[in-house]
Amino acid sequence: MSAPSRPRSSNRVTFAVLATGAGVFSLLQSLIAPALPTVQHAMHTSQATVTWVMTAYLLSASIFTPILGRVGDLIGKKRTLVAALVAVLVGCLLAALAPNIGTLIVARVVQGIGGALFPLSFGIIRDEFDASRVGASISNLSAVIAAGGGLGIVLAGPIVATLDYRWLFWLPVIVVALTAAIALRYVPESPRRAEGRVNWSGAILLSGWLVALLLPLSQASSWGWGSAWVLGLFGVAVVLFAAWLVAEARAQHPLIDLRIMRLYPVWTTNATALLFGAGMYAVWSFLPGFAQTPSAAGYGFGSSVTGAGLLMLPMLVAMFASGVLSGRLAPVVGAKSLLVTGAALGAVSCGLLTVWHGQVWQVSVAAGVFGLGIGLAFASMATLIVHSVPAEQTGAATGMNANIRTIGGSIGAAVTGILVTGRLQPTGLPYESGYTHGFALLTLLCLAAALVALLIPTRRASLQLRATGAGADRKETAGVAGG
């Protein structure tokens, strides 16, 4: 049964809260990255140490996103949402006041708890909004999340130059404090609850294999791909992943229901997320560095941090516009078609960058095309997952989808990093061929994502699979999952 629809004005307030919270968390993912050299200098630390400001956030978010998504399904999405907002608030406050790099890294771990805002927000929309508004609202929220990541790259330079790097955290403190207060007062508690309890053994094993996988991917450039730490952690990840699969399969109340993950529309969407995430995060990571490379290297534009951020502005505008538009197109052409199109646009963009990056306007056009792809892909992935799983599994399923996209991003950034920095000029700068090979690889990854997305079943097949594979309700809303 669908939850009774709430007044439209109430839904607007709820959506504003969800969009603000999720948008700020997405912003924090990328906002600090361009400022890392400034943080390193201000805190008198090494480059290897300051990278933990990003790594700690990544690991924390990867752990808490699916776990708290499941907790929200069990104990209530609103109370879990407010707790996650408070965690982000405390983390930002601690980061703004951090006297040393150790405290800043701890603050980033606390901020990472806010990763749960994504699955919780999707779940609240599904539970509370009228069926006719669910698809568009999910698309709009996905557009905000996607744009938040791009906006961080654009805003970091001006904020640091005008104020100070600590204002990268003071500004979110103000916004998140207001958002948490409004959420506590106006966001309704979802009526749907999953049965059971949190499977803590599954949570510990999930956390273990995620850390063992993502840590060497993020640190391999400094540790060395052939080092004992990297190879050992990869081995630990394989063992813990196998143990997690066994534990979840045997658990009466699994943290992540593997029957849901095996549903054809779910695993194909997740596979697409893995491949597309690899391309997306790598572009976000390396395109600003390309722009900041001095032209004396034979390529690049010698841009400042602010200039490189502004170069990403076409991507930001395009991803927000296409994300919002996808909510209107999905009922007509289907979310599957939009995901295929989004991944294909990513491939076109990276292909353009491979052969066409000598002028600023060329890179801007390619970035804009990629932004169109990100907006369509983000919105359609969330829509496909939400409409393919039972309502009480929404938080856990969308949390895992976000995690799989992050894992793909880590893999893509790591492999692209090998290609870009594997061979350096006498000046220490990468050769242009490193970027060219990197963009070519990302073209193939996005193309593979588009091909895998073609395997996602249409709405009718999806409903049949859900009914036979997980006993889900056949009366799921809307035709947005069709293709």
Query: In this predicted model, what pLDDT tens digit does every residue of 255-273 receive, in sequence order?
Result: 888 889 999 999 999 999 9
Overall pTM surpassing 0.75 (yes/no): yes
CA dihedral 410, 411, 417, 419 (to 10 degrees): -170
Q: What percent of the chain has pLDDT over 70?
A: 93
Q: What percent of the chain has pLDDT over 90?
A: 56
Q: Does residue 337 register a pLDDT over 90? A: yes
Query: In this predicted model, what pLDDT tens digit does every residue of 272-328 receive, in sequence order?
Result: 999 999 998 889 888 988 999 999 899 999 998 889 888 889 999 999 999 999 988
Domain ranges of the chain: 8-198+255-470, 199-254
Residue identified by tokens 């790259």 is 153
Asked if 125 contacts 3 with a C-beta cutoff of 8 angstroms, the reply is no
Q: How far is CA 433 from the centre of its chain?
A: 29
Q: What is the reported pLDDT for 6?
A: 52
Asked if 446 contacts 340 with a C-beta cutoff of 8 angstroms, the reply is no
SS3 of residue 430 by DSSP: strand
Between helix 117-128 and helix 394-421 the angle, nearest 10°, is 140
34: CB partners within 8 A, 6+ apart:
153, 156, 157, 160, 288, 305, 308, 309
Give DSSP secondary structure letters for 243-312.
Answer: HHHHHHHH-SS-SS-HHHHTSHHHHHHHHHHHHHHHHHHHHHHHHHHHHHS-GGGTS-----HHHHHHHT
Q: What is the reported pLDDT for 84?
A: 96
Q: What is the reported pLDDT for 104?
A: 97
**pLDDT tier for residue 465 given thresholds of 50, 70 and 90:** very low
Query: In this predicted model, what pLDDT tens digit does every residue of 46-99 receive, in sequence order?
Result: 877 888 898 899 889 989 998 898 899 888 999 999 999 999 999 999 999 999
Homologous superfamily of 8-198+255-470: MFS general substrate transporter like domains (1.20.1250.20)
The rounded mean pLDDT for the chain is: 88
452 or 147, which is more confident:
452
Query: In this predicted model, what pLDDT tens digit does every residue of 133-174 receive, in sequence order?
Result: 888 899 999 889 888 888 888 898 899 989 999 999 999 999
Using only the alpha carbons of the chain, give its radius of gyration: 21
364 or 254, which is more confident:
364
Query: In this predicted model, what pLDDT tens digit does every residue of 177-197 receive, in sequence order?
Result: 999 999 999 898 877 777 778
389-423 burial: b if 16+ Cβ within 10 Å, else e: bbbbbbbbbbbbbbbbbbbbbbbbbbbbbebbbee
